[in-house]
Structures are given as C-alpha cells and as structure tokens.
Structure 1
C-alpha cells in the first residue's frame, strides 16, 4: 500500500512540474512582442533550385558537426581506454603521468584547450582549424573516458575473476568473456552522457572559424537578423542528433543486459 501511495505522489509531482514548466513557457511566448518568421531559414536549410539545390548552410554545418564530433569520440575513446588502463596499473610513473593528464583535461575549460591547440600548438605545428578542433575534443573526451574506465574496473567484483581462474580460463578469456561484457554495460550510460556532452561542446569550434552548425547559425543571424528563429532551429537539430545518440546507447545497454542474462 505505501508503494502505491508513493507511486501516486510521484506521478502527481511529475505532472505538476511538467505543467509548471509548460505554463512558464507558454506565458513567456505569449508576452513576447515578436513577429515570428521561419520562412527566412528555408535557403539555409535547403538551397532553392535557382541556386542549384542541395543542402543549405545549416545542413552542411550539421554534417561538419557530426563528422568532427564522432572523430573526437572515436579517438577520444581509444586514448581514454589507454589512459584508463594506465590509471589501474601499479607502476607509479605511468599511473602518475596518466593521473596528471586526466586532471589537466578534466579540470580546465574546453574553450581554453581549444585556444591553446589552435593558436599555440597549431601555430607551432602548422595545424588547420579542423585538426586542432578534433585534437582538442579527442583529448578532452579521453580524460573523461579514462576516468569512467578506471571507475568501472575499480568497482568490478573481484570474486568473479577468482571464480573464472578456478574454472581454468586464461587471462584473455577472463577479459573477453567475464570482464568486458559487464564493464561495457556499466560504462555505457556515463559514456553516452559524455558523448552527448561532447557533441554540444563542439559548438565552441565556431570561435576558431570552423564552419560547423553554430558558426553557420551565427552567419545566418548576421544576415537575416532572425536570432530567435535561427537558434530555435539550431537547438532542434542538436536535440535530434543527441536524442539519436542517447537512444542508440539505451538500445545497446538493453542488448548487453539481455546477452548477459542468457
């Protein structure tokens, strides 16, 4: 009976919070003295036939955002696993170096890292803005992946490893059949959250003139003077991309849970 009462209470509180937010949004828009016109965004989404047709600047910028974000995710994940392994070793020099690396990139703003990569490191090694951007996102992402990897392994139940050794499994078989499936399932939620955050942080690439989605939105606002319409539409594009990433992560999590139960 108490559980049923709590369920009703939680449902009521959820409905109240949603209704309150909806009321605040509707009231805000109702009192906004502004004439909306989303039609000006048409050529930025899809070029008219008179201009040859094809994706407009927004879709071109979206593609660059997705491309650079996923490059950062891939390279960052690889580096993160490497540094995560170093964080779990007993070798003091490697562990200390990995810890310093993780602390530097986790505890400094990604915007500052981008400035350093583009204006200092990029100048010294003649790096393009795109390379400096992917490098920054990869290093930033790898620090979080390393800490997620370390935390997952630290909380892994050691008794399962001892049981696997007792069954005669080799270290490689233990890693592949015992540790990897469970560790990956536990790592997925924070990893997906970090990947979604990285996609949103890619908007900072606009400060180094990379023509990604946010930069193209800034250009459109300069020409059309329609900032509300532009940024609402840009927010929608980010929402769609991150929702797809989050949904795919939940799908993988369910598949892993099912495979572990079999």
Structure 2
C-alpha cells in the first residue's frame, strides 16, 4: 500500500518513476540502433546489387586467411595483421613526436623571441600550405638519403612534421585561452618558469584542447596510409599487394577500412575517458 501511495504521489508531483527514467535513457539508444541497422542494411543491399551488376563473386571466406592462420599448433599473424602492427607502431611514434613538435612550436610562437616566433611561423606556414604527399616525397627522395634516414624513420618524421604544424596551432590557442594572471600569480609565489608551465599552465591547456588534439591524433592515424608510397609494409601496402594477387578489392579494402575504424574509435574512446577523468579531477 505504501509503495502504491509513493508511486501515486510521485505522479502527482510530476517526478518520473524509475521505469520512465529508464525508458527515457533507453529510447534514444534504441532509435540510434534502429537507424544504424537500417543504414547498414541499405548499404549492404546497394553493394550486393552493384556486385551482381558487375558479375562480381564475393569471397569473404578467404579474408580470414590474410588476417591470421593456424600452423604448427599456434596462430600466426598474416599480411593484414602484420601491416596493422606496423601502422600502430608508426602511429604511436609519430604521435609522440607530433606532440613534442607541436608543444615546442606553440611555445616558440608565444615567446618573446623574434627569431623563435619567425621560425615557428615559417614552419607552420610551409607545412600547412603544401600537400602531405609532396612532403613525403621530398623527405623520402631528398632529405632522407642526405641525412641517412631509414624508410620507417623518414615516415615518422614526415607524419610528425605535418601533423605537428596543426597541433601547434591547437596548443597555442589553448595557451592563449588561459588568463595571464595565473602565470603572473604563480611567478609571484616564487615558482620557476618551467615549473609554472608544467604544473599550472599545461594541465589547463590539455583539458581545454583535448577534443581538438584527439581530432589531430585521428587524422594522423588516417594519414599514415600515405606513407605506403615509401614502400613501408603498413596496412595499406599489404592490402594493395593482396588485392593485386587475389583480385578481391571489395573484401580487402572493406576489411582495411574496418581495421582503421577500430583504431580511430579506440583512440577516440581513450580520449573521451581522459577527458572524463580531467573533468572529475577539476570538479
């Protein structure tokens, strides 16, 4: 009787019941799932219709052989998985170098040194106004041999230099958004300039710019496919070789797209988790 009375009072007061609250949360999720199912079904229908018009025979059963195979009592990575490993390694090293280049360039642009600001401005202008593919060719055919760089190292440098220019502008905007009074107050307390940046300025900048930095990281992962022109056996290169051998362009490239999607979604998920942690810590 008391439960019924509380439920009646809740309705009288306009407070939603637990069932109504759960329905309010689940309803948009179900709507999104239905929309995705309809979209995927329509896409599959169009692909199947197009393949039939081309007399194309799907061979999805062969794709797994190029991901991993079982031999001598254990699983071995096949071409696509090996290429994915190279892509992940390339992306991680390039991302670390990108953040370092972006931070240094942003600090130079915000410094009082005329030479530092000029160097940073020239670097950003040059990189942002030339295509990535041209930069890769210049590094691979000219600067790489002159400096004695290996192909993989050249690829890391090319990606880091390209993405670092865009990351520098993101970091600089985050630094400019922090009131100068905080820097002056920290120095008034006797903190050294490096310690002020490390303990006061950079944490706030990272919290403000994390979504934009995530976009740059995702772009870097996608741009890593361009270094396949340097004969690096990354995911894209391995896929191109498999297509040339098997004549399965649709199956292989759809699989490669799904693998890249998994990488970028994982990266976005980690960034969302970090943003949530920063928000909780700030609150």
Deviations 1:93-135 (A, max 9, x none): 2101110101111221111111000011123233221121111
- The alpha-carbon deviation at position 65 of structure 1 amounts to 0.5
**1:26-175 matches, cutoff 5 A:** 26-32=44-50, 33=52, 34-49=56-71, 53-164=75-186, 168=189, 170-172=191-193, 174-175=196-197
- The alpha-carbon deviation at position 256 of structure 1 amounts to 1.0
- The alpha-carbon deviation at position 19 of structure 1 amounts to 8.3
- The alpha-carbon deviation at position 138 of structure 1 amounts to 1.4
TM-score normalized by the length of structure 2: 0.79
Aligned to 2:203, the other structure's residue is in SS state helix
Q: What is the aligned residue count?
A: 248
In the alignment, what sits opposite 2:12? none
| 50-59 or 189-198, which deviates more | 50-59
Deviations 1:24-68 (A, max 9, x none): 524422422143221222221113417984100111100000101
Contact 1:84/1:147 (CA < 8 Å) preserved in 2? yes
Instruction: Measure the CA separation in 1 of the matches of 2:97 and 2:132.
Output: 16
**1:227-238 matches, cutoff 5 A:** 227-238=249-260
- The alpha-carbon deviation at position 20 of structure 1 amounts to 8.1
- The alpha-carbon deviation at position 145 of structure 1 amounts to 1.9
Instruction: Measure the CA separation in 2 of the matches of 1:97 and 1:256.
Output: 33
1:169 to 1:181, Cα distance in 2 relative to 1, 3 A: farther
Contact 1:181/1:260 (CA < 8 Å) preserved in 2? no
In the alignment, what sits opposite 1:25? 43
Gapped regions of structure 2 (runs ≥ 5): 1-27
Aligned to 1:170, the other structure's residue is in SS state coil
1:220 to 1:81, Cα distance in 2 relative to 1, 3 A: same
- The alpha-carbon deviation at position 199 of structure 1 amounts to 0.8
TM-score normalized by the length of structure 1: 0.85
- The alpha-carbon deviation at position 161 of structure 1 amounts to 3.5
Matched, 1:242 2:264: yes
- The runs of at least 4 consecutive aligned structure 1 residues that moved more than 3 Å come to 14-24, 50-53, 159-166, 171-174
Matched, 1:198 2:216: no
In the alignment, what sits opposite 1:220? 242
Aligned to 1:241, the other structure's residue is in SS state helix
Aligned to 2:233, the other structure's residue is in SS state coil
Instruction: Measure the CA separation in 2 of the matches of 1:70 and 1:188.
Output: 17
In the alignment, what sits opposite 2:205? 183
